[in-house]
Structure 1
Amino acid sequence: MKPRLTGAAAAFLLLVALTACTPQTGGANASPSPTGSETADPEQTGFPSPSPTPTSAPVALPTDCRAILSDAVLVELGETPLNDAAFGPSGVGSDGTLTCIWADPGADTTGLTTTISRMNRGPALDMLNALANDEGFSCFTPDGGTRCEKTWPNAQYPVTDGRTLFWREDVLIDTRYSNLAPSGYTSSIVEHLFD
């Protein structure tokens, strides 16, 4: 009788283990609503889920903050200083990460900082899910990648602050801004890197 009981117990444990691995929809992983003019895929059930990592050669990280932007975006940035030493390290880091800081040291809050770095799919998915589920970011899947964004009122000044992230092919574009959000900024970088 004991062997049968042991076999039944093993079958039960296997069933429990397999059930725990079943993907779930809704709940904490429910899809946030898209914002702006871009829309999410209505067939999508879990979110965010960055596109699969490609098997081709990795996308080269950029090395020039101006070259990754369209002429229209550069016009919007106007005379805003780029990578002033007052804001600390910027430009290309030792690991190839590019940090672009568009800000005037004399301004109280106006500025924009973008970091373009490598991030594998797993950590990227974890981070984007946490932003969507825990911090109220809206996420959607434009341009073959995953984009999450959120804006909020500045705590001290009557301006808007925000953060936009875009992940694709193991490259993360992470932009934080205050009172400086050129139209098409992230899309311009995406087009330069991936098209």
Structure 2
Amino acid sequence: MSHDGRDGAFPPSQPIGDSPKRRRRAILTGAVVSALLLGSMTAAYAFGTAAAPPPVATPAAEERVVSDPAIPLPPVAEDRLPVAEQPREDLPIPAPPRDSEMTPVPVLPVDLETIEIPDECVDLYSASMFEYLSVDEELPLNDGTTLDPPFSKIAPVAALQEGLPGLACTWGSAGHFGLLTQVNEVSAEQADAAEQTLRSVGFACEDRDGGTRCVTSDTEEGEAWGETHFLRGNVWLCTFWANIAPRGYTSDMVDALWG
């Protein structure tokens, strides 16, 4: 039997496996396979089972930070505060104490005029004055023949001196020549009373050497005598002199006591 193509057989010039339908099916099959392979590779890369794709070139780190507005730039050095000066908003601010919680600190008065009276006569004078008085044989210190205090000859003044604590220093012996000195500790009220009494009986008083100095003198039957009183702070100095009055005697004691 001959084959002429009219009975449905393939013409001899076209191979059996290369028909147009087969070529179309092969092209479609290849496309599907390629799509499946591409999808498989994409899925494998997403889960990390396939080799990673080659890296894509990116800008340097410095360029990325500068060009990316979402990343804030670090502050410059002069904008930074030391750690100790960083503000702490989480620290509570203590409230100022109320008046009822504040304890006042007492202020004690300082009385620089209050001093201690010395226990010995050597501490009542400067070294030069003590030596000057000591070298005179007619002026023995604290001779037993001299009077006991009070030494003022003015009765109202002597009444105020009676019984006051202090120190007595006498230079001389019984007779008409010598110095009788007493230094007493007094209160402010006693010092005021002494000054008023001295002024009332005729003493001449003036401000001197940081205190009040009152003096009087007289002559009786050719004998000179006098009294010098000095009030300062808690001290009352009194000297009765007879026929001798060393220059600067009272001021020397003031310097020795208050410096």
| Length-normalised TM-score, structure 2 | 0.47
Q: Does 1:58 align with 2:114?
A: yes
Cα distance in structure 1, aligned partners of 2:110 and 2:228 = 23
Q: Does 1:160 align with 2:219?
A: no
Which residue is 2:15 aligned to? none
- 2:247 is aligned, of 168, 172, 183, to 183
Asked if residue 75 in structure 1 is aligned to residue 132 in structure 2, the reply is yes
* % identical aligned pairs: 30
> Which 5+ residue runs of structure 2 have no aligned equivalent?
1-108, 150-162
How many angstroms apart in 1 are the aligned matches of 2:238 and 2:251? Answer: 12
Residues 76 and 182 in structure 1, CA contact (< 8 A), matched pair in contact too: no
- Matching of residue 140 in structure 1 with residue 235 in structure 2: no
- Between structures 1 and 2, the one with greater helix share: 2
Higher relative contact order (CA 8 A, sep 6+): 1
Answer with 1 or 2: which has the greater Rg: 2
Q: CA deviation at 1:159?
A: 2.7
Q: Which amino acid is the alignment partner of residue 169 of structure 2? A: C
Amino acid at match of 1:97: G
TM-score of the aligned structures, taking structure 1 as reference length: 0.61
The answer for unaligned runs of 5 or more in structure 1 is 1-52
Shift in CA distance, 95/166, structure 1 to aligned 2, threshold 3 Å? closer
Q: Size of the alignment, in residue pairs? A: 135
Amino acid at match of 1:86: T
Matched, 1:87 2:87: no
Once the two structures are TM-superposed, the CA of residue 67 in structure 1 deviates from its matched residue by 3.2
The answer to which structure has the higher strand fraction is: 1
Shift of 1:160: 1.4
SS in 2 for 1:191: helix
What corresponds to 2:169 in structure 1?
100
CA RMSD of aligned residues (A): 2.6
Matched, 1:128 2:195: yes
CA contact (8 A) 2:203 2:214 kept: yes
Check whether the contact 1:137–1:149 (CA below 8 A) recurs between aligned residues: yes
1:171 maps to which residue? 235
